[in-house]
Amino acid sequence: MLDFNLKGKVFVTCKDRSVSYLEKEVRELGFVPESVTRTGVELRATMEECMDLNLYLRTASQVLYEIKSFYLRNADDIYRRFKAIPWEDYLDVDGYFSVNSVAENESITTPLIVNVKVKDAIVDRFRELKGRRPDSGSDFNGLVFQVYWKETQCSVYINTSGDTLAKHGYRKIPGKAPMMEALAAATIYATEWNTRVPFINPMCGSGTLAIEAALMATKRYPGLYRDHYSFQHILGYDEQAFLAKKKKLESKIMELPDLKIIASDISLQAVSFAQENAITAGVDHMIEFQVCDFAETEIPERPRGVIMFNPEYGERLGENDELEITYKRMGDFLKQKCAGYRGYIFTGNLELAKKIGLKASRRIEFWNGTIDCRLLKYDLYEGKKEE
C-alpha cells in the first residue's frame, strides 16, 4: 500500500509553450520546482499533495508520481524488469489499470509493444502472487501507469490524473473548433488581466475564454467540476480526504459584484452554447452575453481593460478571402473603438494576421493542438502614442 504522505519525484506536464504559466501556478500553490522543461515542471511532493495539484492547476495536462527509475537496455528486458516491480503495492487485484508509454529506443519497432509487455508483466505477477489478475484496457478509467523510456533510462510513474487535466469539466457543448480549457487559461494569464478592469471577448464561440476568465477571477478551480481521477484507484486512497479537499475548494470561491466580463458572437446558437457552458460552470451570472457582430460589442468607457479575439484561422480551402476582410475589420475595430484597452488576437494563421493592420507589441507563442499559434498584443493608445 502506498503511503500518501511519502514525498517522491513528481513531474507535472503541460502543453509545449505553456510551461511558464504552469510554473507560476505551481509556485503559487507553495511548491518549489526542482527543474523546468519545455513541457513540464519537476518537483517533490506526496501523493496527498498530488491530489491538490490535480484539483487546482488550470494549465496542466497530467500529474505524474514516480515509482521506479532504472536502466533498461532494449525491448527484450522489458518483461523481466517490469515484473520485478511490486505492482500489488499500488493496485488492487480486483481493480482496473491501463498503461501508456513514450519510448525512444532502437529496439522498439512498434509503439504499442512497450504497453503490451508491461501489461503482461503486471498481470503475470498478480497471477503468481494472488492466483488472479486485475482487469486492464486502453482507457483511463482506473489506475494509469505511465512509462517514459529514452535510450537506456526508464522511469515509471503513476499518472495520478488519468484523463487529461486540460479539460476542465464544465464544457458540455464544445461548439465549433473550441479552444482547450488549459490553453484558454494560459492565454488569459499571458494577457496579465486583473479582475479590476473589464474582460471583453468578441467572437466568443462556446464561451471558453470568458468562462475561464470568470473562473480565475472568482477562484473557482478545475477540481470543482471533476469527480474522477486516477489517484482514487491507488491502494491507500482515502475518500474522506478527497471529499474534504473538494469542500475546501468550495470555500475558496469569492464573488466579485464589480466583475465585468462581456462575451459576444454573431451566432445565436454559439451564444446559447456558451450560456449553457457558463451555467454548468456556475458563472453565467457574471458574464454579459450579446448576440451581435463583433464590431457592435459593447465596450465600456471606464475602466479600460482587456479585449481578446480568438478568430478562425482559415484552415479550409477558399476561406482566406473572407477571413482577410474579417481580420482587417478586427484591426479597424480595435483602433477605432477600443482606445485605451490592451487588445489581443489569438491566431494560427500569421499571413491573415498581416491583414489586421496594427503593429503587435508582443507575439507570444502557443500551440493549439498541432497548429503553431501566436497571441498578438496590441497597445491601443488614446490619441497619439507618447514618445
DSSP 8-state secondary structure symbol assigned to residue 252: T
The percent of residues in the chain predicted with pLDDT above 90, rounded, is 90
Query: What average pLDDT does the chain have?
Result: 94
d(CA 117, CA 46): 29
Sign of CA dihedral 103, 104, 105, 109: positive
| Model pTM above 0.85 | yes
Residue 88 has pLDDT above 60, yes or no: yes
The percent of residues in the chain predicted with pLDDT above 70, rounded, is 97
Cα 98 to the chain's mean position, in Å? Answer: 22
3-state class (DSSP) for residue 178: coil
Comma-separated ranges of CATH 3.30.2130.30 domains in the chain:
8-159
Secondary-structure percent of the chain, ordered helix, strand, coil, rounded to 5 = 35, 25, 40
Beta strands in 217-357 (DSSP E): 261-265, 287-291, 306-309, 342-347
Please compute the mean of the pLDDT values over residues 38-63 and round it to a whole number. Answer: 97
Please compute the mean of the pLDDT values over residues 141-158 and round it to a whole number. Answer: 96
pLDDT number for residue 45: 97
Comma-separated ranges of CATH 3.40.50.150 domains in the chain:
181-221+254-380
| Grid cell at residue 322 | 473572407
3-state class (DSSP) for residue 264: strand
d(CA 355, CA 347): 12
- CATH pick for 181-221+254-380 out of 3.40.1390.10, 3.40.50.150, 3.60.20.30, 3.40.50.300: 3.40.50.150
Residue 308: closest CA among 219, 387, 209, 238: 209
Please compute the mean of the pLDDT values over residues 26-50 and round it to a whole number. Answer: 97
d(CA 108, CA 142): 27
Residue 136: closest CA among 123, 150, 146, 153: 123
Cα distances (angstroms) measured from residue 239 to each of 52, 76, 225, 246: 14, 40, 17, 11
Residue identified by cell 503541460 is: 14
DSSP output for 125-175: HHHHHHSS--EE-SSSSSEEEEEEEETTEEEEEEESS-S-TTS-S--S---
Residue 94 has pLDDT above 90, yes or no: yes
Please compute the mean of the pLDDT values over residues 331-337 and round it to a whole number. Answer: 96
Our CA dihedral for 349, 354, 358, 360, rounded to 10 degrees, sits at 50
pLDDT number for residue 322: 86
What CATH class does 8-159 carry?
A: alpha beta
Residue identified by cell 500551440 is: 367
pLDDT number for residue 331: 97
- Among the residues of 252-347, which ranges form H helices? 268-281, 320-337
- Which of 189-203, 291-305, 309-323 has the weakest average pLDDT? 309-323
Residue 156 has pLDDT above 50, yes or no: yes
- Count of helix runs (H) and strand runs (E) in the chain: 10, 15
